[in-house]
Amino acid sequence: GWKYAINTTIINFNNEKMQITWAARELFPSENVSFSYTFDEGKHKIWKPCPTYLLDQDYNSGCIFKTEGPTLAISIRNSNGSEELFSKRLKSDFYIKPNRPENVTFFWKEDTVTVSCNKPERAVKCLRLELQYKSKFDKDWQSRTSKCCSVGEQGFDPRKCYSFRVRLKRLVPYCNVVNYSSDWEAETFWMNGTLLDSCDDGIKSQSHTVIILSCLLAVLLMTLILLILLCKWQRLQKSVMPAIPDPKYIFADLFNDHNGNFQEWIDKTDHAVVQTNLEYEEPESIIEAESQQEDENSDKQGPREKIFTFSGAAENNDPKAAQIACLMPTSNTIASFAGFQILMNDDMYVML
């Protein structure tokens, strides 16, 4: 009765192909066995040799062949087939291992995730869709199983990145005698309804955002500091080194109207002075008398100085009179205007 005590592993891949394996080195250490099978029933069975053997150290340890019906009979014989070493009759439908779920989709609504896939062509009632997930803070997978082919779960944190994987399972014992499940579908990574390459990408993107914001804040802070230092430097520069006035702004008509031609500008200014003196004869006559007396005294004491008066200009605040007094080329000349006197030598102007 040892023929029926040999352990074999039987897998029916989605009812498309069969794989049967045995422990060749332990069960048959002295010879290389042969394998045959049939899906026929009754007395007239047609046994078929194994089309594809699985090897273990050059010994036949299994066979792969096409699934052709619900009832299967197998036989293991010695190398020349003269003696049967093991035989078994079984229902191939009770050993089905489903394929991976196809066209898996994820639907996010707030904190709820619904996962679905395409329905297989056969035995849908025997299948269950299993969803497993975990976040970066979970050590173990969380599992959720539902009828094929949709499963939902709620309570997901939109701030966390989750890993998801799904597979199909066969019901035991109603459909299978062995608890077979499909291989896991490729693992995917999601965060708040967004598909990522990995959960590390979410951490990297957050770290990159923090770095960029930090750099922007640092640049803004440095710009503010530079502006403050620049303002303080300008104030210090003005207090230590005051700005030198530009004569073109003081004598705007000299540069704008006469293009810097001093002689043309002074001639025009002399004409304006003469008209001013005519309008104010009485004050001028008094000052001229004083000037004549000063001229007599100056003849005795030293070189003669010329005095120009602009009393009328002083009253009217005529700027040209002031300009004539400042720029008169005659040496040793005294000009008075607006209550001030300007002593002009060859290379010096002194306001008194």
Q: In this structure, what DSSP letter does residue 177 have?
A: S
Using the 8-state DSSP alphabet, how is residue 181 labeled? B
Q: Is position 204 within any domain?
A: no
Could you list the residue range(s) of the whole structural domain that residue 21 is in?
A: 8-97
Angle at 262 between CA 260 and CA 267, to 5 degrees: 130
Same domain, 20 and 74: yes
Residues 121 and 146 in one domain: yes
Q: Distance (Å, rounded) from C-alpha 225 to C-alpha 216?
A: 14
Kindly state whether residues 88 and 157 are assigned to the same domain: no
Last residue of a domain, one of 97, 125, 157: 97
Q: What is the pLDDT of residue 100?
A: 92
The number of folded domains in the chain is 2
pLDDT tens digits, one per residue of 270-306: 655 555 554 544 554 445 555 555 555 555 444 444 4
3-state class (DSSP) for residue 169: strand
Identify the residue whose tokens are 């250490």. Answer: 29
CATH number at residue 61: 2.60.40.10
Q: Compute the distance between CA of residue 284 and CA of residue 290 in angstroms, rounded to an integer.
A: 10
Asked if 306 and 335 touch (Cβ cutoff 8 Å), the reply is no
Same structural domain, 110 and 93: no
Q: Is residue 127 part of a domain?
A: yes
- Tokens representing residue 226 in the block: 């530079």
Same domain membership, residue 68 and residue 128: no
Quick one: pLDDT at residue 133? 92
CA-CA-CA-CA dihedral for 326, 329, 334, 340, to nearest 10: 0
- DSSP track, 11-25: EEETTTEEEEEE-HH
pLDDT one-digit tens code per residue, 307-352: 444 444 444 445 444 444 444 444 444 444 444 444 444 444 444 4
151 shares its domain with 169: yes
Torsion angle of the four alpha carbons 50, 53, 54, 55, in this order, in degrees rounded to the nearest 10: 130
Q: What is the rounded distance in angstroms from the CA atom of residue 120 to the CA atom of residue 101? A: 8
Structure tokens at 261: 């031609």
Domain edge (last residue) among 196, 211, 240: 196
In a domain, 292, yes or no: no
Contact 98, 117 (CB under 8 A): no
Place of tokens 């400042």: 326
Q: Is 171 helix (H, G, I), strand (E, B) or coil?
A: coil
Domain boundary among 97, 117, 149: 97
**Whether 122 and 55 share a structural domain:** no
- What are the residue ranges in the chain where pLDDT is below 70? 1-5, 201-208, 240-256, 258, 260, 262, 269-352
Q: pTM here?
A: 0.54
